[in-house]
Amino acid sequence: MRAVVLNGYGSTEFISLKDVPKPGTKETEVLVRVTAAAVNAGDVFTVKGSPYMLRMDVGFPRPKDHILGWDVSGIVESVGGSASRFKPGDEVYGSVESAFAEYAVGEEILFEEKPRSLTFGEAAALPTAALTALQRMRDGGNIQKGQKVLILGASGGVGSLAVQIARSFGCEVDGVCHSRKTEMVKSLGADRVYAYDAEDFFTTDRRYDLILDNTGRARFSDMKKILTDDGLIIPNSGHGGMAYVIKAFSMAPFDRHIGTMKIVDLKNGDLKVINGLVEGGWVKPHVDRTFRLEETPQAIEYMEQGEVKGKIVITM
C-alpha cells in the first residue's frame, strides 16, 4: 500500500510517499481502507521533531519510515477474530496511528460509525479535534448551561469545533482569531468575535466563566483579568512550546483559576457523543482545503503557515 513516511526531522523534505506492507489485524482490531485523513498540529510537531522528547516515540535519533497521521475515515476492510462492533463494508471514522496511508488499523474502540450527514472528508476532520474540544471543556472545565465561554484560537481545528460544542451546552460563546478569519468564526455561531490583530480583547468589560486557550500565546495574568470570580482557564496548546506546557502544569495545583493540561482520551466512547452532536445539527467541521495523499508535504506546509480555517483534509 502507499503511505506517507518520515525519515528525518526538521522539514517536509524528509517526507516521502512509499510502498509499505499492508497492516494485518489483531484479535480486537479493525482494518480500514482509508478514504480521507486529516492533518493535526501534532503532525507538524512530528515533522519538526519538537518537542525533543517526541523523538523517543517517533524514532531516535531519526525516524525510519514512520507513517504520519492520526485521524481517518473510510470503509472497514476486515476485522479481528474478537472484534464485534463492525463488519466489512461499514463506513467508520476514528483516531489511529499511521493514518496517512491507503489502509489503517486500530483497536475497534477507536472507531465509530461515520455520521451519514457528513462526507468522508468531514468525518476525518472530527476525531482528535472534536474529542479534545469536548473533553477539555466538559471534563476539564465542567462547562454548564448559561455560562459565558471564550475560545482563544477559535478558527483552528479544535477551536472551531469548541465554539459549536460550547453552544450545544447552552452557553454564550465568544471567540478570538485573526481578522481574516472572524467571519468564519461568526458563521459557526459565535456571539462575539475579537480580532486579536486589531483590538485588545483583554480590555473588554465582559467576564467569562470559562476560557479555552488553544494558542499558548496569551499570558495567564491577562486571561485572569477577564474571568469571573469562579472562572477557569483551560490550557490546551502545544503551540506555546514546552515553556507554556511546563508553566501551565506548575501553576495549576496552586491557582484555582487554571485547569490542568491533559491528553485527549480516545478510548472512552466519546465519539458517540460527537455523533449525537452532529446528528442533532450542533456540530459540522469546517474543511479549509483538501490535498491528495501525494501532496501531504504541501498540506503540512500550509498548516505551518497559520492560515488554516478549521481543518485540512487529505484524500486517497
State the cell numbers at 35.
478514504
2-126+285-315 and 129-254 agree in CATH topology:
no
Residue 212, helix vs strand vs coil: strand
219: Cβ contacts below 8 Å, ≥ 6 apart: none
CATH architecture, domain 129-254: 3-Layer(aba) Sandwich (3.40)
Q: For residue 252, what pLDDT is reported? A: 83
State the cell numbers at 176.
478570538
Q: For residue 240, what pLDDT is reported? A: 64
Rounded Cα–Cα distance for residues 164 and 213 (Å): 16
Nearest 5°: phi and psi at 134?
-65, -50
Residues of the chain with pLDDT below 50 are none
CATH architecture, domain 2-126+285-315: Alpha-Beta Complex (3.90)
Which residues are 78's β-sheet partners? Answer: 31
State the cell numbers at 206.
465582559
Q: For residue 149, what pLDDT is reported? A: 98
Q: For residue 167, what pLDDT is reported? A: 98
Q: What's the pTM? A: 0.95
The answer to whether residues 116 and 177 touch, using CB atoms and an 8 Å cutoff, is no
CA-to-CA separations, 296 to 12, 43, 55, 228, 238, in angstroms, rounded: 9, 10, 20, 43, 21
The answer to whether residues 66 and 59 touch, using CB atoms and an 8 Å cutoff, is yes
123: Cβ contacts below 8 Å, ≥ 6 apart: 36, 73, 93, 114, 115
Rounded Cα–Cα distance for residues 194 and 201 (Å): 6
Phi-psi region of 170 (alpha: psi -120 to 50; beta: other; left: phi over 0): left
State the cell numbers at 20.
509499505
**Residue spans per domain, the chain:** 2-126+285-315, 129-254
Amino acid letter at 243?
A
Q: For residue 238, what pLDDT is reported? A: 67
